[in-house]
Amino acid sequence: MKRAFSICGAVSPSRCASRAARVGVLLVVSLVAGGAGDQPTFGRTTPIPVPRGHAVRTAVLADVDGDGRDDVVVSTRRVGKRGDSRFLRVHLRRADDVPFVAEPDATWEVDEAVTAWTVGDVDPAPGAEIVLFTANSVFAWRPRAPEGQGFVRLLDASFLFQFADPKEAFAFEPAVRDVDGDGLDDLVLPEPEGYRIAIQRRGPGGSRFDAPSVLHVPEDQSDGDEGEASGSRKMRARAARKQLRVALSIGGDDAEATGDLLAVTERIPAPQLVDFDGDGRLDVLAQTSHQLHVWRQQPDRTFGTAPDASYDLPVVADRKRRFDVSYTALTADIDGDHRADCVLLAGDKNSDDVRTQVLLYTQAGRPGAAPLFGEKGLPTQLVVIAGFAGTPRLIDVDGDGRPDLTAGSMRLDALDAVAAAAKGTIDAEMYVYLNTGAAFSRTPALTFPVSLKADGLRKARDVLVARFIGDVTGDGIREILLRDEPTRLRLHMVRRTKDGLTVVPQPLFETFVTPDARIVVREHAKSPPEVLILEDTLVRHVRWP
């Protein structure tokens, strides 16, 4: 219990009352319920094993049965003598202390044509459905439907991910979204030339997704000799995802003849659904190498084929920039005017030291004919982060309702590298720049050192090192989930101080994970977040009551 008091004691007294009671009670409950002795066991973990011969590929937390609580859908792979099989296993949440049991409530051997899936309420039946994507169609699997009525065709589309992987049907959650704000899930499908947005219309006969809007992303100007031409589908050198493959062919004159029978690459910018113009409707933004394109949602819930507006990017996202490990562009309403703003992170090419520029562009800061970026592309705010910055996110850390900027940074000079080699760790820092209403704080409100253990990094499949997840303690401030060692997952409380924010050193929760485990975080608007730990033969569900 000493540990419990130390956690409570770390909380600001002025904000402690109900929160302290909640944390204290939860700790007691947790320890009585069979926690690991003296270890902090704030969270509750429920194992969901998969059958022998199956391997966990991915999992999603979503409310499938419509009871208001998230269930777990697990995608597995089974290796058999006749090849691989893929399965989706639905585990509904129980109301008791053990929310999930090993036996699934529904199982389906995934058809070989299915490339991806997610969960969405796309049918009038109670609860949600499993939405299945094939190269040409979207289907819904209704796990509780009577025999023979389990599958419903929703839409024809040219889904970007056409090639099914026999080892895995991957989860693609961005494809389901309430686009028109009517409370029903709609479909946002990436296609080779753009996006297909189908609004759900629910009537007595069921749900319909007819007359979708087809958005066409304009081809950008070529990167010229420095990169591949936009629109080219077959490339030998690719830089779009900070990844490069250079194929050098050495051989006779017929070397090409011995190459691939067929090679296809299709790519499209990830669409962002935000309210660009402040009219209360979600619009679609997409960034190509040189431009930001905007499709405005019309009052009749449709979108045009061509963008309604296109703006030249202030930092061209050409191949050279995409090699920049710090380069990221994010969009959200930063200044509270209900219009989307833009945050760019880019390495400072003019500096001898490694450093990253954070450029904030707000629509309020650049009114007129060229909103957001202005005529000259000058930012509303410039913040400099030393080192290579990465994994930026725009999330409300301090609970004031405004998105703050979080980012990690790694600074390495010769001395750092020698020290790193001696210790076997790489030192990095996590920063939180609080939203001040019109911009971000000039200096970070929180600087949190993270020491990454190098040994075992090679086996780690997950990139999660440190991430702010939803409020667990009830103080309105997000906590930080940390995996600085491949086999340790910890949750630390973040609390407010008079100077900003601080991370309580003693973890609220800690557990061992296998080195190759992957972490899935599910955020909730009004309740604490939940986490799935995906290991080879087991999914572990972690919740903080």
Partner 1 sequence: MLSIGTLLIAQFGGARGYAAQDDDGPPPAHAQRKLARVESLVTTFPIAAHRILDVDGDGRDDLLAIGRAGEVRVWHWDQATGRAGAEPSGVLVLPEPDRSVLAIADLLGTGGRPQLCVVSRRGLEAYPVGTDGAFARAPVLVSKEVSLSLRVGEPTFANVLRDVNGDGRPDLILPRGETCELWLATAPAVAGAPPAMHRVGAFKVDVQRDHAVEAGALSDVLESSFRIPPLSFRDVNGDGRKDLVVEDGKIRAFHLARPDGTIAPEPDVRKDLSEFQDTTPAAEVRLGRTLAGGDDQRFDSTDLDGDGIPDYVISHRRKVWVFRGSSAGPQFTEAWQVLRVADDVSAMLVARLDGDPKPDLLLLRAQVPTVTTLLRGLVASWDVEIASVGYENVTSAGDAKGPFATAPKWKGDLALRLPAILGILKDPEALVKRFETLEKKLKRGFVWGDFDGDGRADAAVATQAERHLDVWFGVERGGAAAVADDADIGSVFFGTETTWDIERVLQWLGDYADRRFAKVTGSRDPSLRAALRPAAEAELQDAGVLSDGAGKAAAIVVAYTDEAGQGVFDVWR
Near partner 1 in 152-171, by CB under 8 A: 158, 160-166, 170
* Nearest CB to partner 1, comparing residues 28 and 270: 270
| Backbone dihedral angles phi then psi of residue 373, each to the nearest 5 degrees | -95, -15
Least distance from partner 1 to the Cβ atom of residue 317, Å: 6
CA–CA dist 468, 478 (Å, integer): 6
Alpha carbon distance 79, 90 (integer Å): 20
User: Which contiguous run of DSSP H or E holds residue 314?
Assistant: none
Site string for partner 1, 70-109 (x = CB under 8 A): ----------------------------------------
Contact flag: residue 192 with partner 1 (CB under 8 A): yes
Number of CB atoms found within 10 A of residue 3's CB: 17
Q: How far is the C-alpha of 339 from the C-alpha of 45, rounded, in Å? A: 40
**Closer by beta carbon to partner 1, 28 or else 244:** 244
Task: By CB under 8 A, tell whether 458 contacts partner 1.
Answer: yes
CA 295 – CA 217 distance, rounded (Å):
10
Judged by CB under 8 A, does residue 412 bind partner 1?
Answer: yes
Query: Smaller CB distance to partner 1: residue 21 or 463?
Result: 463
- Contact track, partner 1, 285-304, x by CB under 8 A: xxx----x------------
Residue 457 interacting with partner 1 (CB under 8 A): yes
- Residue 56 has a CB neighbour count (10 Å cut-off) of 23
Residue closer to partner 1, measured from CB, 76 or 288: 288
Q: Interface with partner 1 includes 251 (CB under 8 A)?
A: yes
- For residue 47, give every residue at least 6 positions away whose Cβ sits within 8 Å of its Cβ, in sequence order, or none: 102, 538, 539, 540, 541
414 binds partner 1 (CB under 8 A): yes
Phi-psi region of 26 (alpha: psi -120 to 50; beta: other; left: phi over 0): alpha
Strands (E), 112-217: 114-120, 129-134, 137-141, 151-156, 170-171, 176-177, 186-191, 194-198, 201-203, 206-208, 213-216
Task: Work out which of 207, 272, 363, 473 binds partner 1, going by CB under 8 A.
Answer: 272
Position among 6, 12, 39, 265 found at the interface with partner 1 (CB under 8 A) = 265
Four-point Cα dihedral 523, 525, 529, 531, nearest 10: -30
3-state secondary structure of 4: helix
* Interaction between residue 386 and partner 1 (CB under 8 A): no
From 96, 260, 300, 499, residue interacting with partner 1 (rule: CB under 8 A): 260
CB of 166 to partner 1, least distance (A): 6
Is residue 271 part of the contact set for partner 1 (CB under 8 A)?
A: yes
267 binds partner 1 (CB under 8 A): yes
* Residue 36 binds partner 1, judged by CB under 8 A: no
Near partner 1 by CB under 8 A, which window of 121-129, 231-239, 474-482, 495-503? 231-239
Q: Which of 237, 306, 378, 382 binds partner 1 (CB under 8 A)?
A: 237
Burial class (CB in 10 A: 0-12, 13-18, 19+), 407: buried
Compute the least distance from the CB of residue 473 to partner 1, in Å. 26
Q: How far is the CB of 299 from partner 1 (least distance, A)?
A: 25
How far is residue 389's CA from residue 393's CA, in Å, rounded to a whole number?
11
DSSP character for 225?
A: G
Q: Which of 53, 231, 367, 399 binds partner 1 (CB under 8 A)?
A: 231
Q: Is 247 in the site for partner 1 (CB under 8 A)?
A: yes
Within residues 344-363, the interface with partner 1 by CB under 8 A covers: 354
